[in-house]
Structure 1
Amino acid sequence: MTTSVLAAEAAAAPGGQLIAAALVGIAVIVLLITRLSVHPFLALTIGSLVVAAMAGRPVADAVTSFSKGFGDTAASVGTLIALGAMFGKLLADSGGADQLVDTIIGRSSARTLPWAMALVGALIGLPMFFEIGLVLLMPVIFLVARRSGLSLLAVGIPALAGLSAMHGFIPPHPGPLVAVTALKANLGLTLGLGVLIAIPTIAIAGPLFARVVARWVDVPAPEMFSSAEPAPPETGGGTAVETRVRPSFGVTLATVLLPVVLMLGKALVDILTAEGHLLRAVFDFVGTPLIALLIAVVVAMVTLGRGGGMDLRGVASSVEKSLPPIAGILLIVAAGGGFKQTLVDTQIGDLIAGWVRGSGVSVLLLAWFVAVLIRLATGSATVATVTAAGILAPLVSTLDPGQTSLLVLAIGAGSLFFSYVNDAGFWLVKEYFGLSVGQNVASWSLMETIISVTGLVFVLLLGLVV
């Protein structure tokens, strides 16, 4: 044997060991979450240590890698998630979300109601986590279905499609934000491309699919939330409780779209203006995600909080109560960053990147497939996104900014594939809609799959021109 052949064989053993480490680490995470019901934060932490140990890294180095990834992710993404939660809470507590919903639904005919519900779901899903948006929309879905005489799913599926697509494709949701950070993608460009993909995807998986699914899963709206009118203010000790006045539709919509406009504005200004231009300097500041969301929260405290009749104490209380519910999400996302950093530091990602470069496989298709596998195994869209982003991070060096943003969106599409019994969202939808497991699979699970596959198709189509 020649020296070069011996060297190649020597390099093959560590490569095989690294692949085994990655597969076993992911398997450990999957087993802990799905079989032992371990919290994803603990599962990701343990999985990171398993990967490092099997890759032959010293314990101290493994802890350092995980801690670095955890801290970097918490600092960059955690603050954005916290600001997004504050904004969403103000939107809900002020009555602004109700105002958006009532205005759009009130101007729709029976024929256009499914499309209006898709728009409502997308608007509510823009600043809110999926679970919060679903809870907020359920009374509206029930009432609209009863008043219009349409099937519950004919009204509900479009709203769910809007919520879910925003969750998978559009920052500042946790999954897309983590992927943007891990892959060093341009946030404004990713947001813009995400909106382009989300609009037709929601149309196909929402109103169009709802026409079909309502024929084979026909369930009536339950008698919950039988009155759309708010209860009269309670009184105690002869003093009336504060009367709430909703902010106007225009003010609410402008406030919701403000952070999106600022971030998209930065992307456009970077393209259209030269380096050093004053307008570019301004948008480089206000269009930064942290600053854009911070501005949006401060504005919302005035336009939604005070505009909704809340006093200073009420505004402060709303902001304060937004944080405890997202503690688990923050820990999972940060631990996902730790797992990603472990994969990077063990150079497993470089090995996979080298294989992909020589295989001719589409990077976008591979990213979607990896996210699908992790989604099916764990049931978590967020875990699927952060893990897939970590595995594919080394590929970014070969991609231009447009392709990198599409890589983020391909992962996001894969993370939504076929929600089933290991996904909390599956049970949430099933119980709210009063469906059997079979009916839920035939409606909700299939809708999620349509979003995932349709999203991938549009990602690949954009990849031909971007």
Structure 2
Amino acid sequence: MEPIEPVFGATTLLLIAAASVALLLFLIIKVRLHAFIALVLVSVLTAIAAGIPLADVPAALTFGFADTLGSVALLVGFGVMLGRLLEVTGGAQVLADTLINRFGEKRAPLALGVAALIFGLPIFFDAGLVIFLPIILTVARRFGGSVLYYALPAAGAFAAMHALVPPHPGPVAAGTSLGGDIGLVLLVNLPIVIIAWYVGVYLVSRFLGRRIDVPVTDLLFGPVNGGDDGDGDGDGNGTTTKVAAPSFATVLTLLMIPLVLIGINTVLTTLIATETVDENTVTDAFILLGNTPVALLISLLVAIVLLGTRGRTLNDTMSLLDAALAPICSIILITGAGGMFGGVLELSGIGAALTSALSGVGIPVLLQAFLIATALRVAQGSATVAITTTAGLLASQADQFSDLQIALLVTAVAAGATVLSHVNDSGFWLVSRFFGMDVKTTLKTWTVMETTLGLSAFAVAAVLWPLIS
């Protein structure tokens, strides 16, 4: 569905967006209305207020909802089932123990963050977060304290890599629009990401963890031992089954399957988009295998074979997986509704009006890139839309810059599109529900951390810009 021609001016549309966000927060935080109901209700009211024709309102609502569910529902479903198998069989504990033994107890959050940075190079934010979820929760349960100590370094690492580093779609699209060298964008942004993650995520997570106590949720994987029957095997039948935990190599293999497949998909897609490699049947086959839901499905099937038959029947394993799906229904619906709200804001023309108002302001180009991307991110929620739209606006000026300057422009655009994740961002709801945080707490933690991450990346780019000009 294409954005409508704006009925109102930029100022009016921005006031509508601000009022919509305020109403949503009021309904969820003060009235205590369920987030799914509140998101759908405010999406309807926003669509009408923004001038979307009444006959087109249902299509506008399903636009963002269906798009978000299409990318989230399958990977969350497969990812949670895989995570449940890893948690119940002791695989997550094995991996957590190995990380802690290598890094030490005090460096557990650092270990999770570094691992997530490595895994996050080819894997998208939401997929990486789902795969790492059982490991994060296992480590948090073992050492106690606020889950923020362990969740934010890992989640922030995936967010940083997804926003700033090729071959992820946002920086690739921005680099391509600006006529830059994607390889150089990767080389420039990789060290920037590491610095920005350490300052804007890791150090900030330690600060937030000391001040905000968020207990480890039992929503996804149940009590500490992964079962409710008291025997620790998680099958719910109350019988004691002593089974040795899987080896570290087995667990690592299960995690590497989606990493490798998705990585191949991402690299091939990027090479085809830049016309470095021609598309053919072989590349299409690998791209299919590396599609995130397909890659997770393959990993889950392998996990069923390697882990699901250890000390239990296949029927018991299927019951276990079926039970793992029940708690995520709310997560998927709320995340989809968050995408619905962001989609309505996008279709209403708020983003177009905003870019039109900001593109002519006389400020330095690096700051202009950051501010426009930030405004778009805040207005409509999608980081990818903010990145691609901002890069398109700056494309006419790109021929006056060197490849190094273009790489830093991509950094500034991606940094602006990272800050201020809030209620119109589906990722906000994913983090909120996965880690058992209410909206107010998520705003005080995840939103703050995303903002410090983006500001840190922009600060590094701003320091480097005069040195190469």
Q: When the two structures are superposed, what TM-score results if normalisation uses the length of structure 2? A: 0.65
Deviates more, 1:265-274 or 1:396-405: 396-405
Q: How many residues align?
A: 396
From 265, 278, 288, the counterpart of 1:275: 278
C-alpha change, 1:105 and 1:309, in structure 2 (3 Å) is farther
Q: Which residue of 2 aligns with 1:291?
A: 294
Q: How far apart are the structure 1 equivalents of 2:451 and 2:191?
A: 15
Are the aligned partners of 1:18 and 1:348 in contact in 2 as well (CA < 8 Å)? yes
Q: Which residue of 2 aligns with 1:437?
A: none
> Radius of gyration: which is bigger?
1
Deviates more, 1:93-102 or 1:197-206: 197-206
Q: Which residue of 2 aligns with 1:23?
A: 18
From 334, 344, 347, the counterpart of 1:345: 347
C-alpha change, 1:357 and 1:260, in structure 2 (3 Å) is farther
Q: Does 1:139 align with 2:132?
A: no
Q: Which residue of 1 aligns with 2:336?
A: 334
One-letter amino acid matched to 2:252: L
Residue 57 of structure 1 and its aligned partner are, at CA, apart by 3.2
SS in 1 for 2:360: helix
Q: Which residue of 2 aligns with 1:159?
A: 150
C-alpha change, 1:279 and 1:404, in structure 2 (3 Å) is farther
Residue 28 of structure 1 and its aligned partner are, at CA, apart by 1.6
Unaligned runs of 5+ in 2: 1-5, 121-126, 176-181, 214-223, 396-405, 424-430
Q: How far apart are the structure 2 equivalents of 1:339 and 1:241?
A: 47
One-letter amino acid matched to 2:350: I
From 50, 59, 65, the counterpart of 2:45: 50
- After superposition, residues 245-260 of structure 1 pair within 5 angstroms as 245-260=244-259
Residue 105 of structure 1 and its aligned partner are, at CA, apart by 2.0
Are the aligned partners of 2:81 and 2:324 in contact in 1 as well (CA < 8 Å)? yes
C-alpha change, 1:210 and 1:276, in structure 2 (3 Å) is closer
From 48, 58, 61, the counterpart of 1:63: 58
C-alpha change, 1:192 and 1:31, in structure 2 (3 Å) is farther
Q: Does 1:78 align with 2:80?
A: no
Q: How far apart are the structure 1 equivalents of 2:188 and 2:433?
A: 26
Q: Deviations over 1:223-272 (max 9, x none)?
A: xxxx99x99779xxxx9632232111122122223223222222323455
From 38, 41, 50, the counterpart of 2:33: 38
- After superposition, residues 305-320 of structure 1 pair within 5 angstroms as 305-306=308-309, 309-320=311-322
Residue 337 of structure 1 and its aligned partner are, at CA, apart by 2.4
One-letter amino acid matched to 2:339: G
C-alpha change, 1:15 and 1:204, in structure 2 (3 Å) is closer
Q: Which residue of 2 aligns with 1:324?
A: 326
SS in 2 for 1:128: helix
- After superposition, residues 216-255 of structure 1 pair within 5 angstroms as 241-255=240-254
C-alpha change, 1:332 and 1:161, in structure 2 (3 Å) is closer
Are the aligned partners of 1:126 and 1:166 in contact in 2 as well (CA < 8 Å)? no
Q: In percent, how many aligned pairs have the same letter?
A: 23
RMSD: 5.2
- After superposition, residues 362-377 of structure 1 pair within 5 angstroms as 362-368=368-374
One-letter amino acid matched to 2:18: L
C-alpha change, 1:293 and 1:74, in structure 2 (3 Å) is same
C-alpha change, 1:42 and 1:185, in structure 2 (3 Å) is farther
Q: Which residue of 2 aligns with 1:4?
A: none
Are the aligned partners of 2:8 and 2:50 in contact in 1 as well (CA < 8 Å)? no
Q: Does 1:98 align with 2:104?
A: no
C-alpha change, 1:69 and 1:202, in structure 2 (3 Å) is closer
One-letter amino acid matched to 2:243: R
SS in 2 for 1:274: coil
SS in 2 for 1:322: helix
Q: How far apart are the structure 2 equivalents of 1:192 and 1:60?
A: 48
Q: How far apart are the structure 2 equivalents of 1:334 and 1:192?
A: 35
One-letter amino acid matched to 1:299: V
Deviates more, 1:108-117 or 1:192-201: 192-201
Are the aligned partners of 1:45 and 1:339 in contact in 2 as well (CA < 8 Å)? yes
One-letter amino acid matched to 1:39: H
Q: How far apart are the structure 2 equivalents of 1:106 and 1:408?
A: 35
